[in-house]
Amino acid sequence: MGKRRWGDRRDGALIRDIDGMHYVMPLMYPNRCDNEAYMNMSVDISKTEDYIREYNKAHPDCRMSIFDLVIAAILKTIRLRPQMNRFIANKTLYQRNRLTAAFTVKKEFRDDGDETLARISVEDTDNLESISAKVREQIAFCKNNDDESTDAMNVIKRLPFKHLIGAVARFLDRHGWMPESVIATDPYQCTVVLTNFGSIGMNIGYHHLMNWGTTSIFLIVGTKKNRAHFDEKGNVTMKRELDLSFTIDERISDGFYYARSLRLMKKLVENPELLEGPLSEKVGEE
């Protein structure tokens, strides 16, 4: 990260060489939730499941899940496609300083089971194995502890003048001035938020973005399915697939850039050996 300049935020650098369209769009369409682009795709995971199975056989004490691999794949995609790590705040476009992923952890699988927020931050040297370890550590920690943001929200809940507090919080959030203790594990201050519907047997669906915070990408991981594919002669082939859906702030880049980024994401999930190297290592389709 370079030296902070006038106009930069604590969490992002002002993009100064911006084209006219991307300068004007936040002025005309200031709300993130009004600018959602929704996409979904199916990924062939036959090789991926074999890879995870072999890895877990060789590492019984640090088992990897398909969710870990998807997190690693989206983070590597964003690292190699940096426009995906942009955000708009206060009608201005920024390049995020860190690469982070957030997800919700259910402490107990009951209707009244508490939820807590997990967040991991990665570096260029991280890879699939180290990211999987970070995810496991965060899940284990969250099962037995509340995160800092939840603690801060519990304090705020006991204060009077909730509407005034909300107005002040939105003002601070808009300018990047929220106290670190409040947003320490806030998922909507991250590069990408993921939710694992497949873990509870649900298929993918649409999830909206949030006007609060800075997150520009939401990714839902669905269930694994055996699906029939037909060639031009009508011959059928069964494939093992995983459904993924993305909601992205369309103001941060264009459709061509998004399409190439999702194509790279698909390649990484289908070929997990490409995730063994560091996040910054190119794989030929950047």
Is 20 within a domain? yes
Query: Does the structure show a pLDDT above 80 at 110?
Result: no
Place of tokens 């690469």: 99
Q: Higher-confidence residue: 198 or 64? A: 64
For the segment 33-86, what is each residue's pLDDT rounded down to a tens digit?
999 999 999 999 999 999 999 999 999 999 999 999 999 999 999 999 999 999
Q: Is residue 90 in a domain?
A: yes
d(CA 2, CA 13): 9
- Alpha helix stretches (DSSP H) within the chain: 20-28, 46-58, 66-80, 128-144, 148-157, 162-175, 180-183, 255-270
Tell me, yes or no, whether 4 lies in a domain: no
* Model confidence pLDDT, tens digit, residues 8-18: 999 999 999 98
- 283 in a domain, yes or no? no
Number of domains in the chain: 1
Q: At residue 131, does pLDDT exceed 70?
A: yes
CA-closest candidate to residue 134, choices 54, 80, 75: 75
> Angle at CA 216, nearest 5°, toward 8 and 156?
80
Flag whether 284 is in a domain.
Answer: no
Residue 42 domain-assigned (yes or no): yes
For residues 234, 236, 240 and 246, what is the CA-based torsion angle, rounded to 10 degrees?
10
Within a domain: 3: no
Q: Would you state the structure tokens that stand for residue 231, as one six-digit string?
A: 């060639």
pLDDT in tens, 235-285: 888 899 999 999 999 999 998 999 999 999 999 999 999 999 999 999 976
State pLDDT tens for residues 146-194. Answer: 666 666 667 777 778 788 878 888 888 888 888 877 777 788 999 999 9
* CATH number of 198's domain: 3.30.559.10
Which structural domain, as residue segments, surrounds residue 79? Answer: 12-275
**Predicted pLDDT of residue 63:** 94
Q: Which residues contact 99 (CB under 8 A, 6 or more apart)?
A: 75, 78, 79, 85, 121, 122, 123, 191, 279
> Which of these ranges, 20-29, 106-115, 249-258, has the smallest mean pLDDT?
106-115
- Asked whether residue 127 carries a pLDDT value surpassing 60, the answer given is yes
| Cβ neighbours of 129 (radius 10 Å) | 16
Of 216, 270, 182, 208, nearest in space to 22 by CA: 216
